[in-house]
Chains A and B, each alone.
Chain A
Amino acid sequence: MAILVVAEHDGARLKPGFLNTITAAKKIGGDIVALVVGHQSSAAAEAVAKVDGVSKVLHADAAMYAQPTAENITALVLTLAKDYSHIVAAATGFGKNFMPRVAAMLDVAQVSDISDVVSADTFVRPIYAGNALATVQSKDPVKVVTVRIASFDVVADSGGSASIESIGAGPETDLSSVQSQELTKSARPELTAARVIVSGGRGMGNGENFKILEALADKLNAAVGASRAAVDSGFVPNDYQVGQTGKIVAPELYIAVGISGAIQHLAGMKDSKVIVAINKDAEAPIFQVSNYWIVDDLFKVVPEFTSQLG
């Protein structure tokens, strides 16, 4: 058995989810081959070659992969698929976009967003916003699997010495092209890799007020997240959203501020190790999943919290 893991990177560095995805691939068992698709992306290929557990890196470098489309990545993966029992990627925006396209072209089911591996053909995946865990078995000849990165630990990003094989580009489908990306710039850790997250909801009132969360986050070296309500209200950009259909996170410490705790938000953070909630509504559902909570005005509590951290 050989497993093809499609790596996500920005040309130079790996995206954090890759290291968790390798843990899932190891649990499936088999030779792990990583595919790096990019343009001028040798640094990313070299980073992947050092990752613990990767036995070989396939590197497809071409101008059309500078900002690759789902159509072009799929076309490339399909040229490689016959050699693998499993095709695996992180269930991030990147993986969710092209993996079902690969599965459909192979006429196989995709197993989305797995949270555990039972055996090479049997996986656990959350359904209904994480309120149930389904164990599913795939009888398809190739298993196309996306991995919930919050459910798997990271492997070491050093110590490995995989060979790097340059492969040619796949077909250019010419169906769509990326014009530009507007990425939110932040010096803070990425949400899906942060040890601590400070998240704000509707109770923040406006975007300006997120400054008090940023001050707290800076003290804790935390990422800043948000509920859907805060994103829909335009307080913060869409990439802050934690929840069932946003980012799924499981940090050591999650601090929910002014978030009532809708089912959809809880789905994105209830696997955090320690949850703290600050809300003036004593009946807020977020308290049901919290380890510690304070019922008080967040505009009083958050600055005090920041200052007590010294």
Chain B
Amino acid sequence: MKVLVGVKRVVDANIKVRVKSDGSGVDTANVKMAMNPFCEIAVEQAVRMKEAGTVTEIVAVSVGAAQCQETLRTALAMGADRAILVETDQEVQPLAVAKVIKALCDKEKPGLVIMGKQAIDDDCNQTGQMLAALLGWPQACFVSKIEVNGDTAQITREIDGGLEKLSSKMPLVMTTDLRLNEPRYVTLPNIMKAKKKPLENVKPADLGVDVAPRLATLKVAEPPQRTAGVKVDDVAALVNKLKNEARVI
């Protein structure tokens, strides 16, 4: 079975972003970028399924600017076999990404698509569900365990109250949650090997997809700041503050 994995280049998870003073967006110039953590889990899942013999080929896909090549090289170093960059300098929103990957699926015919459940920049949590809809495939979101047996998959996914067991037909779009696996670190030899793996570059127009944004961002603002708090010396002082100052207990 061939697997297609979507990966997104985002601001590194450890960086606290700053809002630009003109309110036009978030300052990402000279900020460390990395693969979205949920996409790392997606790549790791594909690699583990290949190691287990369920998967024969892993194709990593990214949609965005030329620099997304770096993110795809990371996916290749983790164990993906080849990569496709759908290059555009336009802002790409989830619906557009889903349409691009749908077009690639029509061409590549994977048996499974694995994506992160959410990108930590726009926090949308949409693309996997949208792709499944456009393909007319079932979806398995927020997955913490999956076993594929021929034409069906047994899935455990995280829901608000606990866990849900889902039985699904294949092909399938799944999105990863945190407990699915712990992604491996890429090693230097694998980074070197990844440089020789094929990376194809196409444009959205080559796939016949219009990626024009549907939502206009009118402004981006700082959230309200919390007022500074105080250190209290002991529990008695804390209880006193909570009762008499904050009046919450």
- Which residues of A approach B to under 8 Å, CB–CB? 67, 69-71, 74, 92-94, 96-105, 107-113, 122, 125-140, 173-184, 192, 196, 220, 228, 231-232, 237-239, 244-245, 247, 252-253, 263-264, 270, 273-276, 287, 289-295, 301, 304-305, 308-309
Contacts and interface: CB of A to CB of B under 8 A. Distances in A.
B130 A101 contact: yes
Nearest to A277: B229
A15 to B, nearest CB: 8
B229 A287 contact: yes
A93 B159 contact: yes
B88 interface: no
A271 B88 CA distance: 36
B241 A98 contact: no
B216 interface: yes
A62 to B, nearest CB: 19
Overall SS of chain A's interface = mixed
Nearest to A94: B160
Contacts of A291: 226-227, 229-230, 246
Given A275-B229, A309-B239, 9 more contacts: A122-B218, A128-B26, A132-B220, A175-B138, A176-B140, A181-B163, A238-B179, A253-B249, A273-B246
Q: Ordered nearest first, which 3 A-B pairs have the shortest CB separation?
A: A175-B138, A100-B129, A104-B130
A241 to B, nearest CB: 8
Given A133-B220, A181-B164, A128 B246 contact: no
A244 B123 contact: yes
A103 B95 contact: yes
A213 B159 CA distance: 23
Interface in B157-171: 158-169
A252 B232 CA distance: 19
A108 B11 CA distance: 26
B215 interface: yes
A87 to B, nearest CB: 14
A149 to B, nearest CB: 11
